[in-house]
């Protein structure tokens, strides 16, 4: 996104994109320090107002995130949902989970966010109940395996936001592996009668509503 557009949106949002911005910055600092193999890429702060809108639409009381990292988006989601909303967030990297745990403690969010340690493909089958909001921001190569659990863990009116679709559409250099997995996931999700799905061009997210 061009810098001028970012500045314009930040002005329009009037500070609503600044929530937990320090944690976003810490996430990027960690990735640069950790090295090329670190996969901690926090969501753009300009997406923060999206979670307030989604929490309001779903009257969210339970949210689930796949791919916690340093905890930036989980913190934003918890704040958007308010004090009566709980966020479960899955993180496979033990070091990242530890950083997120500390970040939540420092921001008085520990009571409202639970870190589930392990890979989503192993943890999702064990989860029970229904979530109002799901955010997939992990390893896109695993996405097709999530679909049966997306149905089971949602209710009519739940919203699923899926990130990391860029590799399929030529983003991030166009050389990353796993494009067939993204294609399979999106094709199955769009054709699944349990969901209504829109793919957001440019940002390359998808937004699905459970019906």
How far, in Å, CA of 53 to CA of 63, rounded? 14
How far, in Å, CA of 134 to CA of 113, rounded? 14
Give the CA distances from residue 83 to residues 53, 62, 98, 142, 157, in Å, rounded to whole numbers and listed in that order: 16, 11, 23, 32, 21
Put simply, whether the predicted model's pTM sits higher than 0.85 gets the answer: yes
- Condensed to tens digits (0 to 9), the pLDDT of residues 124-163 reads 999 999 999 999 999 999 999 999 999 999 999 999 999 9
Quick check: 153 and 172 in contact, CB under 8 A?
no
| Mean model confidence pLDDT for the chain | 94
- Condensed to tens digits (0 to 9), the pLDDT of residues 45-56 reads 999 999 999 999
Label residue 119 by pLDDT band (50, 70, 90).
Answer: very high
Phi, psi of 206 (to 5 degrees): -120, 150
Res 30: pLDDT:
93
How far, in Å, CA of 110 to CA of 101, rounded? 7
Label residue 103 by pLDDT band (50, 70, 90).
Answer: very high
């Amino acid at each position: 996104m061009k810098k001028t557009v970012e500045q314009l949106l930040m002005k329009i949002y009037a500070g609503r994109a600044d929530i937990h911005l320090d944690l976003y910055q810490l996430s990027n600092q960690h990735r640069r320090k950790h090295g090329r193999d670190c996969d901690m890429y926090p969501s753009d702060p300009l997406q923060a107002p999206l979670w307030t809108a989604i929490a309001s639409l779903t009257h969210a009381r339970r949210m689930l995130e796949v791919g916690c990292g340093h905890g930036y988006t989980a913190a934003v989601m918890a704040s958007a949902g308010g004090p009566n909303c709980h966020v479960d967030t899955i993180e496979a990297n033990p070091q990242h989970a530890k950083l997120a745990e500390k970040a939540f403690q420092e921001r008085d969010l520990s009571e409202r966010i639970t870190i589930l340690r392990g890979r989503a493909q192993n943890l999702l089958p064990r989860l029970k109940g229904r979530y109002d909001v799901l955010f997939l921001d992990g390893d896109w190569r695993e996405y097709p395996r999530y679909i049966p659990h997306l149905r089971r863990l949602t209710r009519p009116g739940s919203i699923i936001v899926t990130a990391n679709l860029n590799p399929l559409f030529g983003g991030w250099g166009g050389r990353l592996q796993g494009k067939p997995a993204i294609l399979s996931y999106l094709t199955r999700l769009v054709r699944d009668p349990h969901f209504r799905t829109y793919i957001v061009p440019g940002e390359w997210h998808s937004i699905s509503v459970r019906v």
